[in-house]
Structure 1
Amino acid sequence: MKRVDVAYVLLYDDKNSRILMVKNKGKSSSSYYTLPGGAVENSETLEQAAIREVKEETGLEVSVNGINSVSEAFLEERGHHVIFFTFIGRITGGKQEILLPEEIEEITWMDAESAAQYLHLSAGQLEWSNEIPYILRRN
Protein backbone atom coordinates (compact mmCIF):
# COMPACT_ATOMS: atom_id res chain seq x y z
CA MET A 1 0.00 0.00 0.00
CA LYS A 2 1.13 3.50 -0.77
CA ARG A 3 1.53 5.87 2.20
CA VAL A 4 -0.27 9.20 1.75
CA ASP A 5 -0.02 12.09 4.23
CA VAL A 6 -2.96 14.48 4.43
CA ALA A 7 -2.92 17.81 6.29
CA TYR A 8 -6.22 19.33 7.46
CA VAL A 9 -6.87 22.59 9.29
CA LEU A 10 -9.45 23.05 12.03
CA LEU A 11 -10.70 26.64 11.82
CA TYR A 12 -12.99 27.56 14.70
CA ASP A 13 -15.16 30.69 14.91
CA ASP A 14 -15.17 31.46 18.66
CA LYS A 15 -17.90 34.09 18.35
CA ASN A 16 -20.45 31.78 16.70
CA SER A 17 -19.08 28.39 17.88
CA ARG A 18 -18.72 27.03 14.35
CA ILE A 19 -16.13 25.08 12.36
CA LEU A 20 -15.25 25.71 8.71
CA MET A 21 -16.03 22.70 6.51
CA VAL A 22 -15.78 22.09 2.76
CA LYS A 23 -18.02 19.85 0.70
CA ASN A 24 -15.84 17.83 -1.67
CA LYS A 25 -17.16 16.54 -4.96
CA GLY A 26 -16.97 12.78 -4.92
CA LYS A 27 -17.12 10.25 -7.72
CA SER A 28 -20.59 9.35 -9.04
CA SER A 29 -22.08 12.48 -7.40
CA SER A 30 -21.35 11.29 -3.84
CA SER A 31 -20.22 14.50 -2.16
CA TYR A 32 -18.82 14.57 1.38
CA TYR A 33 -17.79 17.14 4.01
CA THR A 34 -14.29 17.47 5.48
CA LEU A 35 -12.11 20.08 7.05
CA PRO A 36 -10.19 22.07 4.43
CA GLY A 37 -6.96 20.29 3.54
CA GLY A 38 -5.40 17.70 1.32
CA ALA A 39 -2.41 15.63 0.34
CA VAL A 40 1.12 16.71 1.16
CA GLU A 41 3.21 17.20 -1.99
CA ASN A 42 6.86 16.16 -2.45
CA SER A 43 9.36 18.42 -0.63
CA GLU A 44 6.53 20.10 1.32
CA THR A 45 6.19 20.15 5.10
CA LEU A 46 2.91 19.22 6.76
CA GLU A 47 2.47 22.86 7.79
CA GLN A 48 3.10 24.17 4.25
CA ALA A 49 0.62 21.66 2.83
CA ALA A 50 -2.06 22.63 5.36
CA ILE A 51 -1.72 26.34 4.60
CA ARG A 52 -1.62 25.79 0.82
CA GLU A 53 -4.62 23.48 0.78
CA VAL A 54 -6.80 25.87 2.80
CA LYS A 55 -5.93 28.71 0.41
CA GLU A 56 -6.65 26.55 -2.66
CA GLU A 57 -9.97 25.26 -1.33
CA THR A 58 -11.39 28.30 0.48
CA GLY A 59 -9.49 31.42 -0.64
CA LEU A 60 -8.54 32.04 3.01
CA GLU A 61 -5.04 32.66 4.30
CA VAL A 62 -4.30 30.92 7.59
CA SER A 63 -1.62 30.35 10.16
CA VAL A 64 -1.36 27.06 12.02
CA ASN A 65 -0.24 26.41 15.56
CA GLY A 66 -0.35 22.93 17.01
CA ILE A 67 -1.91 19.66 15.95
CA ASN A 68 -5.39 18.77 17.16
CA SER A 69 -5.25 15.11 16.13
CA VAL A 70 -3.48 12.42 14.13
CA SER A 71 -5.45 9.53 12.64
CA GLU A 72 -5.08 6.96 9.91
CA ALA A 73 -7.13 4.92 7.48
CA PHE A 74 -6.55 2.04 5.09
CA LEU A 75 -8.32 2.82 1.83
CA GLU A 76 -8.23 -0.61 0.24
CA GLU A 77 -9.98 0.42 -2.99
CA ARG A 78 -7.27 3.03 -3.65
CA GLY A 79 -4.41 1.02 -2.23
CA HIS A 80 -3.57 3.84 0.21
CA HIS A 81 -2.53 3.92 3.84
CA VAL A 82 -3.47 7.50 4.78
CA ILE A 83 -2.17 9.42 7.79
CA PHE A 84 -4.30 12.50 8.62
CA PHE A 85 -2.69 15.41 10.51
CA THR A 86 -5.23 17.98 11.74
CA PHE A 87 -3.74 21.36 12.62
CA ILE A 88 -5.41 24.10 14.64
CA GLY A 89 -5.51 27.24 12.53
CA ARG A 90 -6.46 30.90 12.54
CA ILE A 91 -7.68 32.94 9.59
CA THR A 92 -5.22 35.73 8.85
CA GLY A 93 -6.59 37.09 5.55
CA GLY A 94 -8.06 36.31 2.18
CA LYS A 95 -11.66 36.15 1.05
CA GLN A 96 -13.85 33.08 1.52
CA GLU A 97 -14.62 31.75 -1.96
CA ILE A 98 -14.52 28.49 -3.89
CA LEU A 99 -11.36 28.58 -6.00
CA LEU A 100 -11.56 24.96 -7.19
CA PRO A 101 -15.19 24.44 -8.32
CA GLU A 102 -14.21 21.14 -9.94
CA GLU A 103 -13.26 19.81 -6.47
CA ILE A 104 -15.22 21.86 -3.93
CA GLU A 105 -19.02 22.23 -3.97
CA GLU A 106 -19.54 24.31 -0.87
CA ILE A 107 -17.75 26.11 1.97
CA THR A 108 -19.82 26.31 5.15
CA TRP A 109 -19.55 27.03 8.86
CA MET A 110 -21.07 24.19 10.93
CA ASP A 111 -21.69 23.80 14.64
CA ALA A 112 -19.17 21.41 16.25
CA GLU A 113 -21.71 18.63 16.78
CA SER A 114 -22.71 18.57 13.10
CA ALA A 115 -19.08 18.77 11.93
CA ALA A 116 -18.00 15.97 14.29
CA GLN A 117 -20.36 13.47 12.66
CA TYR A 118 -18.73 14.01 9.24
CA LEU A 119 -15.24 13.76 10.72
CA HIS A 120 -15.98 10.63 12.79
CA LEU A 121 -15.00 12.47 15.97
CA SER A 122 -16.79 13.58 19.11
CA ALA A 123 -17.57 17.28 19.45
CA GLY A 124 -15.11 17.33 22.38
CA GLN A 125 -12.25 16.33 20.07
CA LEU A 126 -12.82 19.52 18.07
CA GLU A 127 -12.01 21.83 20.98
CA TRP A 128 -9.06 24.23 20.98
CA SER A 129 -7.71 22.81 24.23
CA ASN A 130 -6.66 19.58 22.48
CA GLU A 131 -3.45 21.02 21.09
CA ILE A 132 -0.29 19.00 20.49
CA PRO A 133 2.79 20.97 19.40
CA TYR A 134 3.99 20.57 15.81
CA ILE A 135 7.77 20.43 15.60
CA LEU A 136 9.69 20.53 12.34
CA ARG A 137 13.25 19.32 12.77
CA ARG A 138 15.87 20.26 10.23
CA ASN A 139 19.42 18.88 10.23
Structure 2
Amino acid sequence: MSRSQATILTNMCLIEDGRGNIVMQIRNPKRYSWSGAALPGGHIEVHEGLVESVIREVKEETGLTIKNPSLVGMKHWYTKEDERYLVFLYRTNEFTGEIHSTEEGEIKWVARKDFAQMDLAYDMLNLLRVFEEEELSELFYRERLEDDFVREFW
Protein backbone atom coordinates (compact mmCIF):
# COMPACT_ATOMS: atom_id res chain seq x y z
CA MET A 1 0.00 0.00 0.00
CA SER A 2 1.39 3.38 -1.02
CA ARG A 3 1.75 5.92 1.76
CA SER A 4 2.10 8.89 -0.58
CA GLN A 5 -0.82 11.12 -1.43
CA ALA A 6 -1.42 14.28 -3.39
CA THR A 7 -1.18 17.21 -0.99
CA ILE A 8 -1.73 20.95 -1.15
CA LEU A 9 0.27 22.94 1.43
CA THR A 10 -0.86 26.36 2.61
CA ASN A 11 -0.62 28.66 5.61
CA MET A 12 -2.62 31.30 7.46
CA CYS A 13 -1.49 33.79 10.10
CA LEU A 14 -3.30 35.59 12.91
CA ILE A 15 -1.50 38.91 13.46
CA GLU A 16 -2.36 40.79 16.65
CA ASP A 17 -1.51 44.35 17.62
CA GLY A 18 -1.73 43.88 21.42
CA ARG A 19 -4.84 46.08 21.66
CA GLY A 20 -7.47 43.50 20.65
CA ASN A 21 -7.15 44.02 16.89
CA ILE A 22 -6.35 41.42 14.24
CA VAL A 23 -5.32 41.89 10.59
CA MET A 24 -8.10 40.68 8.30
CA GLN A 25 -8.25 40.35 4.53
CA ILE A 26 -11.61 41.04 2.92
CA ARG A 27 -11.30 38.67 -0.04
CA ASN A 28 -12.00 39.96 -3.53
CA PRO A 29 -14.95 37.81 -4.73
CA LYS A 30 -13.88 38.30 -8.36
CA ARG A 31 -10.55 36.63 -7.58
CA TYR A 32 -11.64 33.84 -5.22
CA SER A 33 -14.30 31.15 -5.28
CA TRP A 34 -14.98 31.93 -1.61
CA SER A 35 -15.34 35.36 -0.11
CA GLY A 36 -15.62 37.09 3.23
CA ALA A 37 -13.11 38.24 5.81
CA ALA A 38 -10.22 35.84 6.43
CA LEU A 39 -6.73 35.81 7.86
CA PRO A 40 -3.84 36.42 5.45
CA GLY A 41 -1.96 33.44 4.07
CA GLY A 42 -1.45 31.38 0.97
CA HIS A 43 0.31 28.52 -0.75
CA ILE A 44 3.69 27.14 0.22
CA GLU A 45 6.00 27.16 -2.78
CA VAL A 46 8.18 24.25 -3.92
CA HIS A 47 11.42 24.04 -1.86
CA GLU A 48 10.17 26.72 0.56
CA GLY A 49 10.23 26.32 4.33
CA LEU A 50 6.98 26.57 6.29
CA VAL A 51 7.94 29.62 8.36
CA GLU A 52 9.59 31.22 5.34
CA SER A 53 6.34 30.80 3.40
CA VAL A 54 4.09 32.42 5.99
CA ILE A 55 6.45 35.39 6.32
CA ARG A 56 6.45 35.79 2.52
CA GLU A 57 2.67 35.43 2.15
CA VAL A 58 1.93 37.94 4.92
CA LYS A 59 4.34 40.45 3.36
CA GLU A 60 2.80 40.02 -0.10
CA GLU A 61 -0.80 40.26 1.10
CA THR A 62 -0.57 42.86 3.89
CA GLY A 63 2.69 44.81 3.60
CA LEU A 64 3.71 43.69 7.11
CA THR A 65 6.96 41.89 7.86
CA ILE A 66 6.18 39.44 10.64
CA LYS A 67 8.70 37.97 13.06
CA ASN A 68 8.66 34.82 15.16
CA PRO A 69 5.40 33.30 13.91
CA SER A 70 4.38 30.43 16.19
CA LEU A 71 2.76 27.32 14.76
CA VAL A 72 -0.46 26.87 16.75
CA GLY A 73 -2.16 24.14 14.77
CA MET A 74 -3.59 23.09 11.46
CA LYS A 75 -6.76 22.84 9.45
CA HIS A 76 -7.17 20.11 6.85
CA TRP A 77 -9.60 18.25 4.63
CA TYR A 78 -9.78 16.24 1.42
CA THR A 79 -10.72 17.96 -1.82
CA LYS A 80 -13.17 16.52 -4.35
CA GLU A 81 -10.08 15.30 -6.23
CA ASP A 82 -9.04 13.36 -3.08
CA GLU A 83 -6.07 15.65 -2.38
CA ARG A 84 -5.25 16.40 1.24
CA TYR A 85 -5.42 20.18 1.73
CA LEU A 86 -3.29 21.31 4.72
CA VAL A 87 -3.34 24.80 6.23
CA PHE A 88 -0.59 25.45 8.79
CA LEU A 89 -1.87 28.00 11.32
CA TYR A 90 0.52 30.61 12.70
CA ARG A 91 0.16 33.44 15.18
CA THR A 92 2.33 36.47 15.94
CA ASN A 93 2.25 39.91 17.53
CA GLU A 94 5.67 40.92 16.21
CA PHE A 95 5.69 42.89 12.97
CA THR A 96 7.01 45.97 11.23
CA GLY A 97 5.58 48.05 8.42
CA GLU A 98 2.17 49.44 7.55
CA ILE A 99 -0.74 47.49 6.17
CA HIS A 100 -1.89 47.98 2.59
CA SER A 101 -4.51 46.30 0.41
CA THR A 102 -3.74 44.33 -2.76
CA GLU A 103 -5.70 42.88 -5.68
CA GLU A 104 -6.36 39.88 -3.42
CA GLY A 105 -8.49 42.01 -1.11
CA GLU A 106 -8.80 44.87 1.35
CA ILE A 107 -6.52 44.61 4.40
CA LYS A 108 -7.57 46.19 7.67
CA TRP A 109 -7.24 45.95 11.42
CA VAL A 110 -10.44 44.59 12.96
CA ALA A 111 -11.38 44.48 16.64
CA ARG A 112 -11.87 40.85 17.71
CA LYS A 113 -15.14 41.88 19.38
CA ASP A 114 -16.52 42.97 15.97
CA PHE A 115 -16.09 39.59 14.23
CA ALA A 116 -19.67 38.46 14.90
CA GLN A 117 -21.01 41.40 12.86
CA MET A 118 -18.67 40.81 9.90
CA ASP A 119 -19.18 38.81 6.74
CA LEU A 120 -16.57 36.19 7.58
CA ALA A 121 -15.23 33.52 5.25
CA TYR A 122 -16.78 30.10 5.72
CA ASP A 123 -16.20 28.62 9.18
CA MET A 124 -13.83 31.42 10.29
CA LEU A 125 -15.30 31.47 13.82
CA ASN A 126 -14.58 27.75 14.23
CA LEU A 127 -11.09 28.22 12.84
CA LEU A 128 -10.39 31.02 15.33
CA ARG A 129 -11.01 28.51 18.13
CA VAL A 130 -7.79 26.72 17.13
CA PHE A 131 -5.89 30.01 17.48
CA GLU A 132 -7.49 30.93 20.80
CA GLU A 133 -8.09 27.69 22.71
CA GLU A 134 -4.82 26.20 23.90
CA GLU A 135 -6.22 22.68 24.12
CA LEU A 136 -7.08 22.69 20.39
CA SER A 137 -4.46 22.20 17.71
CA GLU A 138 -6.36 20.72 14.78
CA LEU A 139 -9.52 21.35 12.80
CA PHE A 140 -10.24 18.41 10.48
CA TYR A 141 -13.13 18.29 8.05
CA ARG A 142 -13.84 14.57 7.86
CA GLU A 143 -16.57 14.56 5.22
CA ARG A 144 -18.94 16.86 3.44
CA LEU A 145 -22.67 16.61 4.03
CA GLU A 146 -24.64 18.68 1.51
CA ASP A 147 -23.49 22.28 2.05
CA ASP A 148 -21.58 21.72 5.29
CA PHE A 149 -18.66 19.70 6.62
CA VAL A 150 -18.43 17.40 9.61
CA ARG A 151 -15.84 19.18 11.76
CA GLU A 152 -13.66 17.61 14.38
CA PHE A 153 -11.45 19.49 16.80
CA TRP A 154 -8.41 17.86 18.40
Q: Compute the TM-score of the two structures, normalised by the length of structure 1.
A: 0.72
- Displacement after TM superposition at 1:2 (Å): 3.7
CA RMSD across the alignment: 3.0
Letter in 2 for 1:111: R
Q: Distance in 1 between matches of 2:49 and 2:28?
A: 26
Unmatched 5+ stretches in structure 1: 133-139
Letter in 2 for 1:54: V
- Displacement after TM superposition at 1:35 (Å): 0.9
- Displacement after TM superposition at 1:108 (Å): 3.5
Give the equivalent residue in structure 1 for 2:143: none
Q: Distance in 2 between matches of 1:87 and 1:60?
A: 15
- Displacement after TM superposition at 1:4 (Å): 0.8
Give the equivalent residue in structure 2 for 1:25: 28
Report SS of the residue matched to 1:13.
coil
1:14 to 1:90, Cα distance in 2 relative to 1, 3 A:
closer
Q: Distance in 2 between matches of 1:2 and 1:123?
A: 27
Give the equivalent residue in structure 2 for 1:114: 115
Give the equivalent residue in structure 2 for 1:135: none
Instruction: Give the count of matched residue pairs.
Output: 127
Cα deviations across residues 6-65 of structure 1 (Å, max 9, x unaligned)? 1111112222x1221111223488522211110000110110110000000000010134
Report SS of the residue matched to 1:73.
strand
Identity %: 23
For the pair 1:46 / 2:53, whether they are aligned, the reply is: no
Where in structure 2 are the equivalents of 1:1-139 lying within 5 Å? 2-15=6-19, 17-27=20-30, 31-76=35-80, 80-98=83-101, 100-101=102-103, 103-111=104-112, 114=115, 118=121, 119-121=124-126, 124-127=129-132
- Displacement after TM superposition at 1:86 (Å): 0.8
1:59 to 1:48, Cα distance in 2 relative to 1, 3 A:
same
Q: Compute the TM-score of the two structures, normalised by the length of structure 2.
A: 0.66
Unmatched 5+ stretches in structure 2: 138-154
Q: Relative CO higher for 1 or 2, CA cutoff 8 Å, sep ≥ 6?
A: 1
- Displacement after TM superposition at 1:130 (Å): 6.5
**Structure having the higher Rg:** 2
